[in-house]
Amino acid sequence: MYFLFILSLKSIFSTVIGSQFYKWYQTTQIGIYFQARMDQFMEYISEKYNIELMKKQSKFEADYPLQESRMKHLESIAHPKCGIEEFDGYKDIDDRLQELERRLKVKKK
């Protein structure tokens, strides 16, 4: 029982220390280089074996949550939900199409 408790503590401490080390390491020159090479390698493997490792959208959302929320807000107000009849010039195009359809019906008869 005592052995399991020590293994659990070791696991927790290793995880915390490893996580903190990686956060520091990824900001160094070597860390940035290593991460770029690792990303390149993983991309190569995913293309070679047709594996989808991570969706770029979900990675962007995780890395930049504030920008993601701003983009979603802008998208919601930039594309209002309306019918095609509300677009400029719709009436002219619709009239022209109806005239063309009427002409085609006359030629077929």
Digit-by-digit pLDDT tens for the chain (109 residues) are 788 889 898 999 888 888 888 888 888 999 899 989 988 998 888 777 766 655 666 777 778 888 888 888 888 887 666 777 777 888 898 999 999 998 888 776 6
Listed in sequence order, the residues at least 6 apart from 31 whose beta carbon sits closer than 8 Å to its beta carbon are 25
Residue whose entry in the numeric block shows the structure tokens 């802008």: 74
User: CA of 88: how far to CAs of 71, 82, 85, 97, in Å?
Assistant: 26, 12, 8, 16
Q: Rounded to an integer, what distance in angstroms lies between the CA atom of residue 90 and that of residue 100? A: 15
**For residue 88, what is the DSSP state?**
T
What's the pLDDT score for residue 95?
92
pLDDT of residue 44: 86
Q: In a 10 Å sphere around its CB, with 0-12 CB exposed, 13-18 middle and 19+ buried, how is residue 89 labelled?
A: exposed
What are the residue ranges of helices labelled H in 1-109? 2-25, 29-48, 56-63, 65-78, 90-108
Structure tokens at 8: 């659990």
Residues 6+ apart with CB under 8 A from 14: none
